[in-house]
Amino acid sequence: MEQTAPAAATLEMKDQVGVITMRHAPHNLLGGALTEAILSCLEQARGNGARALLLRSGLRHFSAGADPAVLSSAASSGTRMLSVSPTQFLAQFEACPLPIVAAVHGVCVGGGFELALACDFILAARSAKIGSVEVTIGINPLMGGIQRQAQRAGALRAKEMSMLGHRYDAETLERWNLINRVVDDDKLDDAAMAVAQELAHGPTLAHGITKQLAAIAVNQGMAAADAAMQELQKPMWASEDVKIGMASLMTNGPGLAKFVGR
């Protein structure tokens, strides 16, 4: 009997958090199978009513980067064409309006690190080893790593990471503003889920607008974000969550609203 290969990534709903678990053995290498599975999980999660997402690995490592077969094919053809477009995948992933939390453990390098950088929050296990190692095979990051590192940690650190190709401990990258929080290894899953649950119980539409405004500010500058803000926020003012939040503020004081995600 022909056996079906296990899915490269699976979705599980926990309350209103869509938990995407990568299981593309042996090391969650990013190629067509895993990127397509991740995007499919994003779509399924939204269809299932998720209000936040948690991206994690069910294997020993978060991700060891791009699939060498994909890179080898591009190198042998002597072109820059990849069978899987890193920028197209990145654009679709970052376009998701839901907040995305990455829980990083083990090795997280190359494209795996770039995938984490595309999330909205990064929590990392204390023992995680993280870096941009593409230079070891003669290339540099293909999925926006250099520019995202430069934006968050400065050009000096971005060039260091991509030119030297070293792996760094999580605490160093927390100091460099490349990850949000470092936690003990045995607390990673619970800590990441706690953040995801907090986001999932917040005003979902407002979170999506926050993501849009942050992206505009980073890519186009503060003036562009200011100019876009009023139009982007129009649906927020008409949302049920604003009515709930305002009513709760007047009745119970700040911070006690129970949002419904509408």
| Catalytic entry in 2, 134, 160, 231 | 134
Report helix, strand or coil for 21: strand
C-alpha of 176 from chain center: 18
Say what the pTM is: 0.92
- Residue 134 is a catalytic residue: yes
Full set of structural domains in the chain with CATH: 9-200 (3.90.226.10), 204-252 (1.10.12.10)
> Cis link prior to 6 (omega < 30° from 0)?
no
Tokens of 58: 């069910």
pLDDT of residue 2: 45
**Of the candidates 90, 67, 188, the residue with the CA atom closest to the CA atom of residue 145:** 90
Phi and psi, residue 45, nearest 5°: -60, -45
Known active-site residue 2: no
How many C-beta neighbours within 10 Å does residue 136 have? 12
The per-residue pLDDT for range 227-260, each reduced to its tens digit, is 999 999 999 999 988 898 888 888 888 887 888 8
User: pLDDT averaged over consecutive 10-residue blocks of the chain (262 residues)?
Assistant: 69 97 95 92 96 98 85 56 72 94 98 96 98 92 92 96 96 97 98 98 95 95 96 93 86 84 84
Phi, psi dihedral angles at 130 (to 5 degrees): -130, 140
Q: Cα(133)–Cα(109) distance, rounded to whole angstroms?
A: 6
C-alpha angle 45-144-170 in degrees, rounded to nearest 5: 80
Q: Could you say which of 2, 12, 43, 114 is catalytic?
A: 114
The model's pLDDT over 83-97, given as tens digits with 9 standing for 90+, comes to 458 888 999 999 999
